Amino acid sequence: MNLRTVSLRRRVAASVMLVLFVVMVALVISVDRTFAGQSSRDVDGVLSQTEARALMLMGRGVPPREVVDQLSKRNVHVTVELPNGRTFGKAPDEGPLQRKFRNIGGNKFVFYADTEAISQAQGRLRKLLVMLGLGAIAVTGVLMIWVVRRALAPLDAMTSLAQAIAAGHRGGRLNPSRTDTELGRTAAAFDGMLDSLEGSEQRTRRFVADAAHELRTPITGVQAVAEALVSAPVDSPDRDQMSFLLVREARRAGRLVDDLLALAQLDAGYEMQREAVDLMGLAEAEVARTRFVAPDFDIAVEGVSGVVVVGDGQRLAQVLANLVDNARQAAGAAGRVRIRVDLTGFTVSDDGPGVPEGERERIFDRLVRLDDARDRRSGGSGLGLAIARGVVRAHGGELTCEPSEGGAVFRVVLPVAPVA
């Protein structure tokens, strides 16, 4: 999206001035035409009155010459042409005129109205309107600078706040008094964005600090064992034990690094491989793996066969292995774990202590452990459930911790592909 960065002040001012100019031009033209039309009607009315008086006088037997003398005035002139060709009265020689013809008793009367005064008044009115219009535009332009500056002050406040936050000053907010206006909604959205960014930043900092703390523990162990191993005599009986501890701590650090990389890949939205994955086959493979690791542990798979999803088989196997390992750790050596496959995904349940209701969503946060279910001695990093949920959501599904009477129930819902 490319945002046009034209100056809003100039844009608003230019738009208002253009509208005002168009309105003023239309007003001048409208007033001028109205004045001209009304003046023409008034002159026509005077000519009509003069014509009516001429009819009245001729009806009384007044000679045409006397009629012309009586009706001719300063701005009204009358001429008459008798049937014998004689004429009385004088027509104006110059200037704007409006005339009217009438035959009265065989005599041809012409009535003239001098409209020069009206034309001069119309010209003065035009000049006055133009001057007033230009003055109004000039005054409006000056006032527009102040009005637009006041109107756009909230945007300046947003800019100042954004610059302050970019400079490292956190915590500032606009706090709009009203959120039902355009600027109010924009300011509220701006504050919401800042809250989200600040919360994300705090979560990132906390995650980095927690990850560094988690990674420091195995690295410190590796360093201590390595130093002890270097210092120990070649024939020391503890060298084998120290070598075993060194390998164990190194693997622990490696697992944590792998988990952090997996989370980074999920956050980056990497593209996973897409293939047909049989959920029942995936569950049976996980049961076989668990029985190989813990032959005496009670684990079984049940449900519907032939349920196929399109996704990354290795990642989905990782999700299932993570849920089964968590369930096995929570249930203990004498516990029980069941994997149930249905038409929408699968469920992993155990008979351990379960997950408290208030913790069913928090356990999917990064580096979160529940003391009743697992601790650091189990070797977990606290990232497994976060990775599992990220993988499931990348497949268009959802991973949740469901309510249960006893033990924990983790539900994975996936978009199932139609089977040919």
The helix or strand, by DSSP H or E, that contains position 333, with its residue range, turns out to be none
Output the pLDDT for position 377. Answer: 42
- Residue 200 included in any domain: no
Output the pLDDT for position 94. Answer: 67
Nearest CA to 272 among 189, 391, 420? 391
Averaged pLDDT in 10-residue chunks for the chain of 420 residues: 66 83 88 89 88 88 87 85 87 77 88 83 87 87 81 76 71 73 76 74 70 72 81 77 81 77 72 87 94 92 92 91 92 93 94 88 76 45 82 91 90 76
The verdict on 302 and 231 lying in the same domain is no
Q: What CATH number did the domain enclosing 243 receive? A: 1.10.287
- Is residue 136 within 8 A of residue 31, CB to CB? The reply is no
Nearest-angstrom CA–CA distance, 310 and 169:
47
Single-letter amino acid, residue 159:
T
Q: What angle do CA 111, 113, 114 make, to 5 degrees?
A: 145
Domain finish residue from 268, 286, 309: 268
The verdict on 232 and 113 lying in the same domain is no
* b/e burial code for range 219-254 (CB count within 10 A of at least 16 → b): bebbeebeeebeeeeeeeeeeeebeebbeebbebbe
Q: Which residues pair with 99 in a beta bridge?
A: 112
End-to-end CA, the chain = 42
- Residue 182 included in any domain: no
- Residue 418 included in any domain: no
The helix or strand, by DSSP H or E, that contains position 96, with its residue range, turns out to be none
What would you report as the CA-atom Rg of the chain, rounded to the nearest whole angstrom? 48
Nearest-angstrom CA–CA distance, 278 and 283:
9
- Three-class SS state of 76: strand
State the DSSP code for 405.
S
- Residue 333 included in any domain: yes
Nearest-angstrom CA–CA distance, 77 and 71:
7
Nearest CA to 316 among 276, 374, 264, 267? 276
Instruction: For the chain, give the number of residues.
Output: 420
Q: What CATH number did the domain enclosing 306 receive? A: 3.30.565.10
The verdict on 42 and 114 lying in the same domain is yes
The verdict on 48 and 120 lying in the same domain is yes
The verdict on 12 and 145 lying in the same domain is yes
The verdict on 280 and 408 lying in the same domain is yes
Nearest CA to 263 among 211, 304, 198, 334? 211
- Residue 2 included in any domain: no
Write the CB contacts of 154 (distance below 8 Å, at least 6 apart in sequence): 174, 176, 183, 186, 187
Torsional sign, CA 143, 145, 148, 153 = negative
The verdict on 214 and 237 lying in the same domain is yes
Domain finish residue from 251, 268, 285: 268
Nearest-angstrom CA–CA distance, 292 and 412:
24
Output the pLDDT for position 420. Answer: 44
Domain finish residue from 125, 151, 177: 151
The verdict on 29 and 129 lying in the same domain is yes
- Residue 14 included in any domain: yes
Write out the residue range of the structural domain in which residue 226 sits. 208-268
Nearest CA to 115 among 41, 51, 55, 49? 41
The verdict on 28 and 47 lying in the same domain is yes
Nearest CA to 353 among 331, 323, 335? 331
Write the CB contacts of 309 (distance below 8 Å, at least 6 apart in sequence): 276, 277, 279, 316, 345, 395, 414, 415, 416, 417
Alpha carbon distances (Å) from 377 to 147, 215, 251, 322, 371 = 68, 14, 14, 17, 11
**HEC assignment per residue over 219-231:** HHHHHHHHHHHHH
The verdict on 309 and 405 lying in the same domain is yes
Nearest-angstrom CA–CA distance, 179 and 190:
12
Q: At what angle do helices 279-293 and 313-331 cross, to 10 degrees?
A: 50
- Is residue 355 within 8 A of residue 362, CB to CB? The reply is no
Nearest CA to 298 among 353, 336, 324, 329? 336
Domain count, the chain: 3
- Residue 167 included in any domain: no
Nearest-angstrom CA–CA distance, 358 and 356:
6
Q: What CATH number did the domain enclosing 118 receive? A: 3.30.450
Centre a 10 Å sphere on the Cβ of residue 165 and count the other Cβ atoms it contains.
15
- Residue 185 included in any domain: no
The verdict on 306 and 222 lying in the same domain is no
What's the whole-model pTM score? 0.51
Tokens of 305: 């066969």
The verdict on 249 and 287 lying in the same domain is no
* b/e burial code for range 349-361 (CB count within 10 A of at least 16 → b): bbbbbbbeeeebe
